[in-house]
């Protein structure tokens, strides 16, 4: 009989370890990053200082989306007013110029803000993968404590370095409260 090999079974989402303090979570996350793991998530009942650096988060692309949408909104607002006032329906009232840019500022500003706000909300939802009514970590019964008093670190099976036995051995060196294999 051959020993069972846990490389990357199809039904495994990853391995999750539960810690009782935020310091233990940050220490485990730093060590996992140093060990070369890239696909990790941390779950805690409150924001933990230093976890972003420990997980080596890269900066978000959301500000670029918002800026581009704001520029498009501003150009749309200005272009629409220019087209209406100068090209489609020119009216010479009181000798004023057809292209009176100071009158275009309020609408241009409002469309800039509107497009940027929509880009921020929709971009945030898209980049976070929302809405997500189901996530595999919910299959772990002790995960309900993540909103109360437990701190969890999961290493996903999608990580190129992932091996169930190696990840479990890696987590055991930090003496977590519990280590669970998370299934899809």
Helix axis angle, 62-82 to 101-127, nearest 10°: 150
- Residue 3, pLDDT above cutoff 90: no
Determine the CATH number of domain 12-59+135-183: 3.30.70
In angstroms, rounded to a whole number, what is the distance separating the alpha carbons of residues 68 and 15?
39
Residue 96 is predicted with a pLDDT of 86
Instruction: Give 49: exposed, middle or buried? Use CB within 10 Å, 0-12, 13-18, 19+.
Output: exposed
Residue 92 is predicted with a pLDDT of 87
Tokens of 27: 């220490």
Residue-wise pLDDT for 8-47, tens only, equals 556 899 999 999 999 999 999 999 999 999 999 999 999 9
Q: Are 137 and 181 in contact (CB under 8 A)?
A: no
- Tokens 């520029």 sit on residue: 71
Average pLDDT over residues 145-173: 94
User: Taking the model in full, what pTM does it have?
Assistant: 0.75
Could you give the residue range(s) of every CATH 3.30.70 domain in the chain?
Answer: 12-59+135-183
- Residue 1, pLDDT above cutoff 50: no
Tokens of 170: 């890696």
Residue 161 is predicted with a pLDDT of 93
């Amino acid at each position: 009989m051959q020993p069972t090999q846990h490389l990357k079974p199809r039904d495994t989402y990853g391995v999750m370890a539960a810690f009782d303090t935020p310091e233990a979570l940050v220490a485990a996350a730093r060590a996992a990053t140093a060990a070369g793991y890239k696909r990790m998530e941390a779950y805690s009942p409150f924001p933990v200082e230093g976890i972003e650096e420990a997980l080596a988060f890269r900066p978000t692309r959301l500000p670029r989306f918002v800026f581009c949408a704001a520029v498009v909104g501003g150009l749309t607002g200005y272009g629409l007013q220019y087209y209406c006032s100068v090209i489609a329906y020119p009216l010479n009232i009181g000798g004023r110029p057809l292209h009176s840019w100071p009158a275009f500022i309020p609408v241009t500003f409002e469309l800039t803000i509107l497009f940027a706000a929509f880009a921020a909300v929709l971009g945030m939802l898209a980049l976070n993968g929302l809405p997500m009514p189901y996530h595999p970590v919910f299959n772990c019964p002790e995960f309900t404590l993540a909103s109360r008093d437990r701190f969890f670190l999961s290493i996903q099976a999608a990580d190129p370095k992932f091996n169930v036995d190696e990840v479990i051995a890696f987590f055991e060196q930090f003496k977590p409260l519990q280590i669970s294999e998370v299934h899809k």
